[in-house]
Amino acid sequence: MTEQSASRSRATELALDKAYATDGPEANRELYAEWADTYDSGFVVDSRYVYPQQVAGVFCHGFAHIDEPVLDVGCGTGIVATELARLGVSVIDGIDLSPEMLAEAEAKTHDGRPLYRRLFEADLTGPTELADGAYAGIVSAGAFTHGIFGPETISELLRVARPGARFALGINSAHFVEVGFGHWLEERQLDGLIAGLNFDLRPIYEEADEADPDQWSRIAAFTAA
């Protein structure tokens, strides 16, 4: 490992140790309020965070352009939406529990216009004000991890998805196993609520350690029935 890689790993570990030790909506609001203005220039750059590209790539695979509304869950500062827009998604809404992260996202543009159509501050551990069947696609990178969302949150996302809506939900691999995402999603498929379920293993960081599940994601790809 180079000195640069080692430094990057230490920075990543310190940030993630703090994030993974944070549990519940209010604690996460406090964490991301502190982190928002340096998230892109600090954590994303220092850790060589490739998670947004991975999730956006899975979601957009096979499509040259997507002009129906897509919801970015746990949108943070807008790094996933930046990739979606680059790949041809033209209408993106974002939802996050941190007003400070949303302020960073609101300032971003793509091709001279705001990156997001609308942004919502909400906690997805409960019901939201999003309309039934509002979205043709739902993506997430970073929200389904330790101390944030478990699989039950997906029920609310299914409510706001149209029939046939595409999903690409990045789930931290360690969290995926610990709280039973695989079993939960397979049950939803057996119940006829989703179809075409597939789990795509992808690195979260450019130099992900193969032995560390916290550096990998299971991207759950499926469609709403």
Q: What percent of the chain has pLDDT over 70?
A: 84
pLDDT digits (tens, 9 = 90+) for 14-49: 455 545 544 555 656 666 667 668 888 888 888 899
| CA 95 vs CA 54, 103, 125: distances in Å | 19, 12, 12
pLDDT of residue 6: 47
pLDDT of residue 26: 63
Cα separation, 200 vs 222, in Å, equals 11
Q: What share of the chain is helix, strand, coil (3-state, %, to 5)?
A: 45, 30, 30
Is the pLDDT score of 92 beyond 50?
yes
The CA-based angle 164-151-174, given to 5 degrees, is 120
pLDDT of residue 24: 53
Backbone angles phi, psi at 162, to 5 degrees: -75, 155
pTM (two decimals): 0.88
CB atoms within 10 A of CB 164: 11
pLDDT digits (tens, 9 = 90+) for 111-154: 999 999 999 999 888 889 999 999 999 999 999 998 889 999 99
